[in-house]
A and B are shown apart, each in its own frame.
Chain A
Amino acid sequence: MQLVVFLLKRLGWMLITVWVVFTLSFFLMRAIPGGPLNGERVLSESVRAQLEQRYNLDDPLFVQYATHLWNTICFDFGPSYKLQDFTVNEVLAQGFPVSAALGIFGMTFALLLGMTAGVVSAVHRTSIYDFSFMLLATLGIAIPSFVLASMAIVLFVFYFQLFPAAGWGELRQIVLPAMCLGAPFAGYIARLTRTGMLEILSNDYIRTAYAKGLSTRTVILRHALRGSILPVVSYLGPACAGILTGSLVLEKIFAIPGMGSHFIEAALQRDFTLGMGALLTYTILLYVMNTLVDLSYSIIDPRVVLE
């Protein structure tokens, strides 16, 4: 019951957020010149009228807003302004799985590397491992992913020729972008895990576990890790947002046909319908991710009350 109330509340706030984003971007689009009619060619009067009709631009502003809002509620983002013969829905349906795969690979890499480094650093505190892992973590956080990606391309694609430079479809092509995408988050996760782990390791129940005669491995993996993972879980929400933005630029660098590339293209070409569709998808995605994180938080730590 509590769960249902929580989810309903979240749904309500999500709708408000999506509506705010929709209204904001709708009026921004209409306030500023551009759009399908302001191409390089000068359009004749009849063509212009036809185009305006096709994109619902001939109605009064309020009617346009209402129609557009209704279509959006029905998940119909309309035809793309610039990609001829494609609806926005089709473009998004093509791009979304690609971006999702990249994001999942990146996140998995970040979690695996970050948590391993964090646990090792905490267990061997003030050792050379600890120091070098934390230095690497700060490096990963500090260096923007596009700088990392550029250097990785120079090194691993052209100098050592281990990976292909761009493209999508093979596993080999995913490795480099996923690693560049995950690196900053791996850094954060390593630091968070280390801090959480250090705190947990000084608890009494860890001493009890050791006193029972459990091996170090069991104590750490069974008893300590679960408690120390909490800050990492609460970080996953912002991390998802970061992965989304990070994939924008990495998709551009590695020429991956995901949603990010489409969004950038839409913004550059002033393709309003596509841009709006992508924007709303991102908003919903972000909200769902945050809600999931809050849910998982309460599963890991029963003391957390959902509100």
Chain B
Amino acid sequence: MNQTPTTPTDEQPGKASKRMELERLMEVMSAAQIQQGVSLWSDGWKRLKRNRVSMASLWTLVVIVVLAIITPALPLQSPIFQDVKQRELLRPTLFAPANPKGFTWTEKALRDFLSKEKIAEFPENWVVKLRAFRSKVVEAQYAGDESLLIAATPSERAALWYQWFGEIEIAPPEIKSFRLGIADYNEDLTLKRQELIEMSTSDSQRAALQAEIESLEARHPINALWNDPGFISRSMIEFRIFIFGDYCIPSICGTDKLGRDILSRVCWGSRVSLACGLIATLVSLLIGVSYGAISGYFGGRIDNIMMRIIDVAYSIPFIFIVIFIMSFLSAPKVRDTLNEYGINQITVFFLMIGAIYWLTMARVVRGQVLSLKNEQFVDAAKTIGTSQWGIIFKHLVPNVMGIVIVYLTLTIPAVIRFEAFLSFLGMGVQAPDISWGMLVNEGIQVITPIRIYWWMIVFSGFALALTLFSLNFLGDGVRDALDPKLKNR
């Protein structure tokens, strides 16, 4: 295209032929622009889309992940609120819970009930009546009879659910809905904080105020019911209260032996389980790819030593060592020390799982790098003066991503399963955090020949199995889609 400038001597005949050549070139260029190369990824995606089972798994996973992300914004009951007395091991029901601590009644329904029972005038009477009615309903529900609950008028039901500030504390004139209760707490907190800032009195007074604020924060409904959520979860919970008010989904999956709602626990548990799959896999990816790439690129003695280390590590039963380490870490002393450094036990757990799943990845990446490092593009990079690390991480690593992705799809379910396994043994995630493995374990513990609490096992087990099942199918699909041998089949 960059033709040398024309000379005046052959101007006449040259111009015509030049123009023709130029036109031809333009044609070729435009044709080339229309023609698009098929990259490995777009080709793989196209083939993956043709695989129905994999696509179904992909969509299932998308739904599960989205649900896990927006869990705080869903109108679920509190995952950790306990009520052994009245909600222990209730079977799944489509009706609103007899006692979900405050949720599920509207202010209007409550006011209706109050006026119907003339409660403003007889506060004690109201509490007694409510208690009697509630225990009758709960007893019936235990016996498997929900007719009382169904027959209850909306206002009666509303009153049944009213339990937010505890039975004894209730004084009817101060009855508040959950939303208003939270607003009260927030107002109190703001006032106290302002006072703390504005007051420049003695230290003892300030300390007293500080303690008061702390105890208020601890008793704050959101902190108490959701175990000190982080900033994002907290905003989502506030958003949920803003949208849904006091409504929450009834215990359609039953309750556990401490009266906690299982649906909500399964949803909150999914966050931990999936996060573990993600974080631990990323850690293993980081270690495995770096280790393999370095070993493969440098070769020779370094490679030899690094691979021997992997050989030894392969035959170490890491699962047992992790169990050992976890049991040490859960010692109160160690936990306190870790907390001082700001390290969460769950973080250590995730990192450790990731740190033992990198061996296969390292081997695979090493093999790929070995075959790639003699390619021309590596020589080219060397020629223009790229450093060794630059070559490894900028030129070689991106080229092994295909096979790395295939291994990732195998690692994620393995890691999730391992986390569930450890949590099931009681050595992984610790209460009040929740994970699926832990939920299944709780289910196993209440199994008795007298009554079958199937809902304690089935829902958490199903969630875990569905996730692993979809991940496995998706992994198979991705492997097939990225496998050049199966191309054009």
Contacts and interface: CB of A to CB of B under 8 A. Distances in A.
A25 B323 contact: no
B472 A282 contact: no
Interface string A99-137: 000000000000000000000000000000000000000
A20 B413 CA distance: 29
A168 B465 CA distance: 28
Interface in A220-278: 241, 244-245, 248-249, 252-253, 263-264, 267-268, 270, 275, 278
Contact of A248 (B328, B420, B425): B425
Given A34-B331, A142-B472, A25 B464 contact: no
A32 B328 contact: yes
Given A151-B458, A268-B426, A16 B316 contact: no
Given A20-B312, A154-B457, A33 B331 contact: yes
A247 B328 CA distance: 22
A253 to B, nearest CB: 6
Interface string B434-477: 00010011011001010010100110010011001101110010
B312 A13 contact: yes
A24 B417 CA distance: 25
B324 A249 contact: no
B316 A150 contact: no
A241 B317 contact: yes
Residues of A contacting B: mostly: helix
Contact of B469 (A139, A153, A165, A270): A139
Contacts of A13: 311-312, 315
A283 B440 contact: no
Interface string A273-293: 001001100110011001000
A33 B472 contact: no
A33 B333 contact: yes
B412 to A, nearest CB: 12
A248 B417 CA distance: 14
Interface in B358-389: none
Interface in A35-76: none
Given A144-B468, A290-B315, A158 B320 contact: no
B325 interface: yes
A290 B317 CA distance: 12
Given A24-B321, A28-B325, A34-B328, A158 B469 contact: no
A142 B316 contact: no
Nearest to A31: B328
B120 interface: no
A138 interface: yes
A8 B465 CA distance: 44
A214 interface: no
A286 B440 contact: no
A93 to B, nearest CB: 19
Given A138-B473, A252-B425, A270-B327, A17 B457 contact: no
Contacts of A263: 320, 323
Contact of B421 (A14, A144, A151): A144
Contacts of B443: 150
B473 to A, nearest CB: 6
B467 to A, nearest CB: 9
A150 B461 contact: yes
Interface string B306-341: 000001100111011101111111010110000000
B465 A143 contact: yes
Contacts of B461: 143, 147, 150-151
A158 B334 contact: no
A219 interface: no
B263 interface: no
A17 B315 contact: yes
Given A142-B413, A150-B444, A158 B321 contact: no
B290 to A, nearest CB: 22
B327 A150 contact: no
Contacts of A162: none
Nearest to B334: A32
Contacts of A158: 447, 449, 452
B465 A25 contact: no
A304 interface: no
Interface residues of A, number: 49
B72 to A, nearest CB: 26
A146 interface: yes
Contact of B425 (A32, A34, A264): A264
A277 to B, nearest CB: 12
Contacts of A287: 315
Contacts of B473: 138
Nearest to B436: A147
Contacts of B426: 268
B413 A267 contact: no
A26 B204 CA distance: 50
A15 to B, nearest CB: 11
A283 B425 contact: no
A240 B136 CA distance: 56
A11 interface: no
A141 interface: yes
A270 B465 contact: no
Contacts of A153: 444, 447
B317 A279 contact: yes
A147 B465 contact: yes
A265 to B, nearest CB: 10
Contact of A21 (B316, B425, B454, B464): B316
A292 to B, nearest CB: 13
Central interface residue in A16, A25, A32, by most chain B CB within 10 Å: A32
A14 B461 CA distance: 38
A12 B12 CA distance: 86
Given A34-B331, A150-B457, A25 B468 contact: no
Contacts of B323: 263-264, 267
Contact of A154 (B413, B417, B447): B447
A249 B115 CA distance: 57
Given A17-B316, A142-B413, A142-B465, 17 more contacts: A13-B315, A21-B317, A28-B325, A144-B417, A146-B424, A147-B461, A147-B464, A150-B443, A153-B444, A159-B452, A241-B317, A245-B317, A245-B319, A264-B323, A268-B427, A275-B324, A286-B315
Interface of B: 311-312, 315-317, 319-321, 323-329, 331, 333-334, 413, 417, 420-421, 424-427, 437, 440-441, 443-444, 447, 449, 452, 454, 457-458, 461, 464-465, 468-469, 471-473, 476
- List the 5 closest A-B pairs by CB distance, nearest first: A142-B469, A147-B461, A267-B327, A142-B468, A32-B328
